[in-house]
Every structure is written in C-alpha cells, then in structure tokens.
Chain A
Amino acid sequence: MGTLAITVHRPAAAALRRAAGAIERRPVLARWLLAGPGALLAAVLVMAAMPVWLPAGAAGVDNLVYPIVLAPLIWTVVFVYALLENSLPRATAVLTGLFLVDGILVALTATGTIHVNAG
C-alpha cells in the first residue's frame, strides 16, 4: 500500500518541487506578480464569490453589501499577506487556492448551477 502511494504521488510531488524551485529562483519577479496582479485578481474573485457563501441576513442584502463595502480591505489583506509571507511557494499556493475556490464558485453561479443567497 505504501509503495503504491509513493509510486502514484512521486511525479506530482516532483512537479511541485520543480515549480517551487522555479518560483524561488526568481524571488523579485514572483513577489511582484503575487503582490501586484495576483493580489488584485484574488481580491476581485473573493469579492465576486462572497454573495454566494455569505448569509443574506434579515434584510436580504448583507451578502450584496459586504463585498462592495469590504473590497478595499480584501485587497489590503491579500496584498500585505503576499508582501510579508516569507515562503514564496506557500504564498503562490494560497493565492492559487483563492483563485480556484472563488473562481469555481463564480463560474458555477454564472452557469446557474448554484445560486446566490437570497433573503
């Protein structure tokens, strides 16, 4: 069983190690991309996906108001994280996770598979 797991995961782990190595070889460029366009895109996607998972509240508007009001704060949090995180591969993984999760939520909403919370 142990042998099987190693056999299956070794290429993926090697690919991840190679990606992490590539990121660490260009630290300035990677930091610029993460804190610049990366933080901006992550903030937009988090804001766009918020109406899906946030509760609408008693008045049925909280999930629409929060993303609009909090947009600058969301960007600031992501930007400062991308700036302070010492491990660039980890920062890349976190931001990629944000892109994927929020991007999928937005895509599912756009195709009508899921709906935003209504009051």
Chain B
Amino acid sequence: MIPISQPQMKRLTAVHGWSGVILGLLLFTVVITGTVAVFADEIARWSAGSSTERGIDRPIDGIVRDLAEKLPLFYLDDVAVWKTDAGELMAFFHSHAENPATGQPDEYGAMFRIDPASGAVLDRNEGFMWKQPWAWDPSALRHFLVDLHVQLYLPDPWGLIVTGVLGLLMMAAAVTGFLMHRHMIRDLFVAERPGARLVSARDRHVLASSWSLPFAIVLAFTGSFFSFATTVSFPIVAQVAFGGDREAMAGTLFEPPVVEDTRRVRAADLDAIRAIALDEVGGPLTFVSIHHYGRADSRIHVWHAADDGRLGFTQTVFDGASGAFLGVKPQVGNSPSTGNTIRTLMWPLHVGDFAGLVSKAVWGALGATTCFVILSGLRLWVRRREAEPLWRRFGRALTVTSLGLPVAMLASAWAYFLALPAADPFFWTPLGFLAGAVACIVLGLRVATEDRLRALFWRILTWACLLLPPLRLATGGTSWAEALARGHGEVLSIDLLLLAAGGLMWWARSRSRARTIVRDRPAMEPAE
C-alpha cells in the first residue's frame, strides 16, 4: 500500500467525508438514476406499449426516396433514418439554421413517423425537432429518467456542468477512499462485526466500497468525461487548436474529407447499402445518416450497435451517389488511432452496453452497490455525530432522499402510464416525479419518528412496485403472452423484477415486525 503519514490521512479523511456530506445526496441522485438508466432501452421497450427487434431490419430505400422527392432541396442537406423502440421508422430531412430559442445553430427540418411495413406516413412534424422529443421518442419515461441522470433536469449547459462536478467529486471520494485503505485485500473479505454497532456499519461500508472501488472510479471518470466533453473540454481545445472554430474541429474529428460537388444525381440504393453494411460488419444497424442526399458528393454513414464481439458502435461509410463501400470509419478521425480506441471505450465503460443484458446487469448491480456505498458512508457520518441536532436533521434528509427518490421515480412511472391513454406523457411524467418528491419531503417534515417514516416509505415502495405491472397492462401495454410470442424478454423481466422487489419488501417488512414483537415481549413479562 501507499505509505500515508498521519497528517495526510487526516486530510484524506476530511476530504472523503466532507465531499460526501456536501454533495453526497445529489451524487446519490445521479448514481441511482444512472443505475436505472443503464436499462434505458429495456425500459423504453417495456413502457412504450409495444416492443420490437433492435435495428433497421426492413427495406427503407423506397420510403426515403418517395419522401425526398416531395421535399425542397433545403431539407435534403442531411437525412437521418432510424427505428424507434416502438418499432416505427423515423426519417428526419433537415438542414442547419439558427434556433431563435437558444441563439445557437441547430438542425431544422421535417420529421416523419412511418409504418415500416406499409411505408405509410403516420405523422409529420417540422421545426427544430431534437428539441421536441414527443415527436421521436416513444417513451417519455425513458426520456425523463435519462435526462434526470444526465443533467438532473436542469437547463443546458448547467445540468451537464453540475453532473460533471459530481463526477469529479465521486473521483475524489473514490481515490481518497482507496488511499485510506490500509489493508485493501483484507477489506475485500471483511466480515461484519455483530451487534448493529457503529463498527458493524463501518464494516458493511468498507466491504461494499472495496468491491465497487474500481467500478466507482471508471464510472466517475467516464461520467465526468461525458458531462464536460461538450460543455468545457471541447470548446477549450477548439479555442487552442482551431482559434475557437468548433465546426472546423468537429470536421477534423468526425467528418471524412469530401471534395465538394453540387451536381444532382440519383441517390444510391439504401437497401443495397444496408446489405453490404451487414455483410461487412454485421448487425444490428441502428442509424443511417445521409449527408447531401441526391448530390454527387453525398456520403452515407451506417451505424452498427455493439455486437459480435464489437465493444462500441461501429460506423461504415458509403458513397451516396454510387453506393460504393468506402470502409469502416473510426468514431474519431478517418484511420485507426489510439485516441479513437480510448474514445470508443468510454460509452461501453459508462453504460455497460457491450455484452447484451449480461454486462448491463453487472453494471446495474455495481451501480446499486455504489448507491449503498454512498448511503452507508453518509449514514456512518451521521451516526458519529447524532448527538448534534443539525446532524440528526441531516440524517432525516438522508432517509427522505434515499427512500423518497425511488418513490418519486416510481411516481413518474405511474404518472407516465396513467397519462399514456389520453394525456401528454412528456408533461405528466416529470410532474409525477415532482409530486412524488414533494409528498416524500412533506412526509419527512411531518412524521415524528424515524422508524415510522421508514416504515411508511417502505409500504409506499412495496405497493408502488407491486401495482405498477397491472397498471401497465391496464393502460394497453404489451401482454406477457404477446411479449413471449415475440421473444421480447424485457417486458416480462421488468414486470417480474417489480413484482419480486415488491414481494421482497413485503416479506422483509413482515419479518422485521415479527422480530420487533419477539424482542419486545420479554420486556413486558415482568410487568404482567
């Protein structure tokens, strides 16, 4: 171990503790929502009312060509094609314009929602469409939960900056925690000392943090990278390397060099390109982007999700006029590089999306362990100071946050499903979360004892979990039989997980009450 002197240990302990106390509750919010967001795609398919295979698996050329022929050239500057989690095809024909709402350049165009089987246009919307998620995201629940994790539902860019700072804080807590460990290997197998004493709580914290330490560092590093990359780091590097011209830097990093040729030509067959892309790299194909549709200098990028041993997304590039395969393009730059490899690894390392549901489940479990580490660390801090009224109040805030946040997240799911048949789920889902959070805070202020408050939260969580699957089915969600017939395990899995969680909480509560009765009985006997 690294030799640490007494004054150094004192400083490390102070930073480890205070960093958690000052922003620990916010950090818990980001980590618990992130743990749920690992399963964002599964939640989307579970909540969207129907589920579908991943990837573009039907012909698209006729659909895109028909739509393009009816649109002015302005809209053909860029075309994006993808399939939603509800199985509908989306096509966004757009160019670039200044968004008056933000004063920034943005993508303006016409977005079509299409039945992939018949090619019929189900909906058409026009505007700065990425700012209007209701038009393209079939699950307001997934959208809300991911947004809460990524930027705590705060406006751009402040949400990202706050979550970036929280990522750095987690790095500080994890690294100082690592340096404070005098016996790292022994701590991996530490047994909890009996008696529900302070040392017992410390043992639990040490055990969980020792196992999750590497994961916490990876998570904090990749998370703060994603938060700061676009808001801070990219603009600074662009300022130094390109005199502040961010578009020039983006071009160097992400765009292959193309000689401009504005002649109109017949666009290449997208289905033939789809077949070559599948042949060259493999599926599933999740996104097709066409630059300068129907022009001689057109380029088509096809995105392949991580699969078949590929850790991250892979991109194949085609000539948009001739349909010729131009090669596999790294995410960054135009030829393989260490920089690209490192950049490509950031996403799978952050979300665990590299070996299907197995790696996601591991990431989810480690995320849950990290939540426990944060809460047990904060609880330890409070227990050492519970004689002081201020820290007792902080302890109450800790209870409200740790149990109230899951309640609020479940409330957002309830609001989503209740709004789905007749109202706007993009409006009601965040409102459901807010209502749940406010209700939990009010309970925290009004319920007199800590034990009663915990019991109340526990009961709410139990019923919220147990009744959510029936609510989903009642509001038109995919039935278990339909999901099984289509081979979509996530619908059944999430329903069963919720029922199991509710059942487990019910059982734990009943057991705890039985223990309390048995413990209290001998004390009453002498009086009798």
Contacts and interface: CB of A to CB of B under 8 A. Distances in A.
B221 A47 contact: no
A72 B330 CA distance: 23
Nearest to B2: A84
A74 B179 CA distance: 17
B5 A86 contact: yes
Interface residues of B, number: 44
B238 to A, nearest CB: 9
Contacts of A52: 240
A58 B252 contact: no
Listed residue (B5, B236, B249) with the most chain A CB atoms within 10 angstroms of its CB: B236
Interface residues of A, number: 37
A61 B240 contact: no
B343 A69 contact: yes
B343 A65 contact: yes
B240 A49 contact: yes
A119 to B, nearest CB: 8
Contact of B332 (A44, A50, A65, A73): A65
Contact of B339 (A31, A59, A76, A84): A59
Contacts of B8: 83-84, 86
A3 to B, nearest CB: 41
Given A58-B337, A68-B233, A83 B241 contact: no
Interface string A26-69: 00000100010000000010011111100001111111111111
A80 to B, nearest CB: 6
Interface string A97-119: 00000000010011000001001
A113 to B, nearest CB: 13
Interface string B1-22: 0001101100110010000000
Contacts of A86: 5, 7-8
B338 A67 contact: no
A60 B333 contact: yes
B230 to A, nearest CB: 9
A69 B237 CA distance: 11
B337 A67 contact: no
A83 B176 CA distance: 10
A91 to B, nearest CB: 12
A51 B339 contact: no
Contacts of B221: 72-73, 76
A64 B175 contact: no
A116 B339 contact: no
Given A48-B236, A61-B253, A116 B241 contact: yes
A61 B236 contact: no
A44 to B, nearest CB: 7
Contact of A47 (B167, B237, B343): B237
B52 interface: no
Nearest to B224: A72
A48 B11 contact: no
B166 to A, nearest CB: 11
Contacts of A80: 172, 175-176, 179
Interface of B: 4-5, 7-8, 11-12, 15, 167-168, 171-172, 175-176, 179, 220-221, 224-225, 228-229, 232-234, 236-237, 239-241, 249, 252-253, 330, 332-340, 342-343, 346
10 contacts: A31-B11, A48-B239, A48-B240, A57-B338, A65-B343, A66-B339, A68-B237, A71-B232, A72-B228, A76-B168
Interface of A: 31, 35, 44, 47-52, 57-69, 71-73, 75-76, 79-80, 83-84, 86, 106, 109-110, 116, 119
Given A61-B253, A65-B342, 7 more contacts: A52-B240, A57-B339, A64-B253, A71-B225, A72-B167, A80-B175, A83-B8
